[in-house]
Amino acid sequence: KNQVEQSPQSLIILEGKNCTLQCNYTVSPFSNLRWYKQDTGRGPVSLTIMTFSENTKSNGRYTATLDADTKQSSLHITASQLSDSASYICVVSATMNRDDKIIFGKGTRLHILP
């Protein structure tokens, strides 16, 4: 069964600290993995996309990693800011018979305290 599991469910850290969010998946055949950021009351916005051959990708203070062998991804946030308070959603795509399916994780809710 195709699944995407994210941990932790929620996380509270102080402004300026680093944090890492985890995503484990059992999606097959793997096509790509995206991390989305969803601010409260708004729609998700894509942060990064990882394909099978990519191990690391950065977008400013956000760095995503992918281990296709263990089917794990992480999103590392450096020097957190108050604006990083949001939900972070891991989304994995599978392509089968020319039909793409995407599986959403339930997200990690991140709170940054001043």
- Judged by beta carbon, residue 8 or residue 16, the one nearer another protein is 8
Distance linking the first and last C-alpha atoms of the chain: 41
- Judged by beta carbon, residue 32 or residue 85, the one nearer another protein is 32
Query: Residue 68, exposed/middle/buried by CB under 10 A (0-12, 13-18, 19+)?
Result: middle
What kind and span of H or E run contains 7? strand 4-7
54: which DSSP letter?
A: -
Task: Tell me the closest approach of the beta carbon of residue 13 to another protein, in angstroms.
Answer: 22
- Judged by beta carbon, residue 19 or residue 91, the one nearer another protein is 91
State the residues that interact with another protein by CB under 8 A: 31-32, 34, 41-46, 49, 89, 93, 95, 100-102, 104-107
